[in-house]
């Protein structure tokens, strides 16, 4: 390998690492934005009014369908 190909390889490796860091940062920002949007939607839900239902409903989940 000559000096130019070594320099080119080094630059390519450095650029790839930088791209991966930027991609991870953008992914983390997107996930944070999505989490805050989901939390806002959950907080916006009205409280459940279940005064007409018997108290035993909703205590067990049938897992054998």
**Average pLDDT taken over every residue of the chain:** 85
SS (H, E, C) the chain: CCHHHHHHHHHHHHHHHHHHHHHHHHHHHHHHHHHHHHHHHHHHCCCCCCCCCCCCCCCCCCCCC
Q: What percent of the chain has pLDDT over 70?
A: 94
Q: What percent of the chain has pLDDT over 90?
A: 37
Q: For tokens 């390998």, what's the residue?
A: 1
pTM of the entire predicted model: 0.54
What is the rounded CA–CA span in Å between residue 62 and residue 53? 19
If one compares 30 and 8, the residue with the highest pLDDT of the two is: 30
Q: Which residues contact 1 (CB under 8 A, 6 or more apart)?
A: 9
* pLDDT, mean of residues 10-27: 87
């Amino acid at each position: 390998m000559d000096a130019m190909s070594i320099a080119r390889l080094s630059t390519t490796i450095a650029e790839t690492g930088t791209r991966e860091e930027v991609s991870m940062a953008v992914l983390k920002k997107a996930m944070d934005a999505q989490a805050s949007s989901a939390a806002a939607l959950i907080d916006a839900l009205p409280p459940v009014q279940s005064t007409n239902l018997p108290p035993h409903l909703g205590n067990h989940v049938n897992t054998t369908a």
